Amino acid sequence: MCGIAGYVGGKNAPVVLFDMLKRLEYRGYDSAGIAYVGEDGINIPKGKGKVDEVRASLNPESLMGQIGVGHTRWATHGVPSTVNAHPHTDCTGVFAVAHNGIIENFLELKDELEERGHSFKSETDTEVIAHLIEEYYDGDFLEAFAKALGKLKGSYAITALSTHHRDMILVARNESPLLIGLGEGENFIASDAPAFLGETKEAVILDDLEYGVVTAGNTAFYSLKSGRKLRKKHETLSWSFREAERGGYHHFMLKEVHEEPDAAVNALKGEKELRAVCDKISSCRRVYFVACGTAYHAGLYGKYLMERLGLAAEASIASEFRYSTAGSLNSECAVIAISQSGETADTIAAVKAAKARGAYTACIVNVVGSSLTRLCDDSAYTYSGPEIAVASTKAYIGQLVSVALLSLESAKKKMKLDEKDFLDYFDELKNIRERIQDILDSNEIRALAESEANTRTFFYLGRRENYPTALEGALKLKEISYVHAEGYAAGELKHGPLALMDETVTVLAIMPDDELKRKVESNISEIKARGAKVITVGVNKDIRIPKTYPIFAPILAIVPLHLFAYYISVLKGLDPDKPRNLAKSVTVE
């Protein structure tokens, strides 16, 4: 997810564009840039870093122009760098393009264009759009733009400039949002309303496979399918700026939980990268998942999954691993680091300790180009998009799906899983998106949280692959509502913690439809006999999750527990996005 912006009107475009990018920074923040039409043609000041850092280095107040496009990046193709920052141009620098989305056939298009003599500067998919416009341009900018769009497969929101047509910005949308803010003698273009809400609430919202022309005083939009001119409705946007920044949700965390269905399917985009890691670990004697916090819970899930599929695997907390297990590693071992940020100091240190012992290292991360991706032998991405809230939610879903896919690929490669079973599991992984959406649509988690808002002690119980779910559910509650909660292996309760059970305690018991369900039921009876309250999570339980393969139940069961923690935090008047004492990325040991 990236943020794109455009402006045409009487103000100084470079300044307006950086103001707009700042309000879109939550959509991506590893590099930023603008393209504006000055006296000497198109200028493209851009750089690596957050919007404020790039702005300080470029001083837009000193630049002059009244039309331009801008971009703040969340890298998907090509590491964060100045050369990969948007906007991008064609060979001649006559056309400039900023893009949000993924052009799935960009390599094929790039090969064709290179064969026709085009030379590329960046590693991005976006750059092919500028060269396609150049290829088709014969005097009509809009026609060349439409032809270029016709070649693209994938998702895009695009703004395009040309020195031959200095009064217009071309726009197009397919699966990535794009709005046009309608001003007086000026118009704004953006991925999201926060970029221009302070200037105007009147907007046109493009739909998929629509494109158009925006000038200071006019707009015109067309259907890419039919070429026909469209009569687009002018909408009045009702959100406040802050609400718009969070897509209408009160907090980023709630927005990101509601992005968990997409996170599940986006993780499957990493299939090729995960298969490459699978090829490397197939000859290893043992696989170690290493991570911290929520990411560690994903690693623990990976351990259970690999073992359930007949493979040897371990999961370790990074800050422990580096001082203990790392000493026993050798070249027959594989260490797989899991990290949303790719910058967690303990995890980085654990990988360094593994490398020092000759182990193979890989990472499963969300941030392209992060430190772990530069340190490990191989990288795979969860493609979860920017996660702003300190509490990790959608990135955890991405990690679980990635780890599940890696485990299934490994089991298939080691002949522990036949092709048919692999495909059955893979098909269900593709359905997880709908299952999560079903959970979000069908549970009254807020009401449940209201009934528990004053409870002082929570236990989360799970068995086998749902033991990590119990740990994650408890962590989420602790870190954003400051209430004591413990994740526990259900079978362990009678070995001590049962002494804590009384009417002041609430227990959330994760019990999917599997052969251990009866065991959890007997744990629940022991708990209820001591007066504690029990909330069950499972098929047709207090918190309902749809039926799926038992090995995928943790991907579903955690969704309502994320929401439960969110609502308890909000009911206590806390800010779930910025919990006390915590940071989004712990870059200190």
Quick check: is 333 catalytic?
Answer: no
Using CA atoms, how far residue 63 sits from 16, 208, 234, 267, 531, in Å, is 11, 34, 32, 41, 70
Q: Which stretch binds ligand AGP (CB under 6 A): 182-190, 195-203, 333-341, 545-553?
A: 333-341
The yes or no reply on residue 159 touching ligand AGP (CB under 6 A) is: no
* Near ligand AGP in 454-483, by CB under 6 A: 479
Query: Tokens standing for 25?
Result: 């920074």
Q: Which stretch binds ligand AGP (CB under 6 A): 43-51, 109-117, 335-343, 355-363?
A: 335-343
* Near ligand AGP in 202-241, by CB under 6 A: none
What is the bridge-based pairing of β-strands 360-365 and 378-381? parallel
Number of residues that bind ligand AGP (CB under 6 A): 15
> Closest approach of Cβ 567 to ligand AGP, in Å?
16
> Closest approach of Cβ 71 to ligand AGP, in Å?
25
Q: Could you give the CA distance from residue 200 to residue 357 in angstroms, rounded to a whole number? A: 59
Q: Could you give the CA distance from residue 470 to residue 557 in angstroms, rounded to a whole number? A: 9
Q: Which stretch binds ligand AGP (CB under 6 A): 47-55, 131-139, 282-290, 293-301?
A: 293-301
Euclidean distance between the first and final Cα of the chain, in Å?
30
Quick check: is 584 catalytic?
Answer: yes
Active site residue: 280, 414, 572, 584, which one? 584
Query: Tokens standing for 88?
Result: 């991008």
* Near ligand AGP in 543-572, by CB under 6 A: none
Q: Which stretch binds ligand AGP (CB under 6 A): 76-84, 168-176, 280-288, 338-346?
A: 338-346
> Closest approach of Cβ 473 to ligand AGP, in Å?
11
The yes or no reply on residue 370 touching ligand AGP (CB under 6 A) is: no
How many residues are there in the chain?
A: 589
Query: Tokens standing for 458?
Result: 């929570």
Active site residue: 2, 292, 333, 376, which one? 2
Beta strands (DSSP E) in 439-538 are 457-462, 484-489, 505-510, 533-538
Q: Could you give the CA distance from residue 486 to residue 494 in angstroms, rounded to a whole number? A: 15
Near ligand AGP by CB under 6 A: residue from 371, 392, 469, 506: 392
The yes or no reply on residue 257 touching ligand AGP (CB under 6 A) is: no
The yes or no reply on residue 585 touching ligand AGP (CB under 6 A) is: yes
Kindly tell me which of 122 and 585 has the beta carbon lying closer to ligand AGP: 585
> Closest approach of Cβ 303 to ligand AGP, in Å?
17
- Cis check for the bond before 87: say yes or no (omega within 30 of 0): yes
CB 396 within 8 A of CB 476: no
Near ligand AGP by CB under 6 A: residue from 2, 51, 295, 448: 295
Site string for ligand AGP, 339-358 (x = CB under 6 A): xxx--x--x-----------
Q: Could you give the CA distance from residue 158 to residue 114 in angstroms, rounded to a whole number? A: 22
Read off φ and ψ for residue 15, nearest 5 degrees: -70, -45
Query: Tokens standing for 389?
Result: 């809230």
Q: Which stretch binds ligand AGP (CB under 6 A): 174-182, 217-225, 231-239, 387-395?
A: 387-395
Query: Tokens standing for 203?
Result: 């907007």
In terms of Cα–Cα distance, which of 408, 207, 201, 161 is closest to 309? 408
Q: Could you give the CA distance from residue 526 to residue 100 in angstroms, rounded to a whole number? A: 54
The yes or no reply on residue 390 touching ligand AGP (CB under 6 A) is: yes
- Residue 218 is given by DSSP the state -
> Closest approach of Cβ 266 to ligand AGP, in Å?
16
Kindly tell me which of 169 and 292 has the beta carbon lying closer to ligand AGP: 292
CB 554 within 8 A of CB 514: no
> Closest approach of Cβ 384 to ligand AGP, in Å?
11
- Residue 587 is given by DSSP the state -
> Closest approach of Cβ 300 to ligand AGP, in Å?
13
> Which residues are marked as active site?
2, 584
- Point out which residues bind ligand AGP (CB under 6 A): 292-295, 339-341, 344, 347, 390-392, 479, 585-586
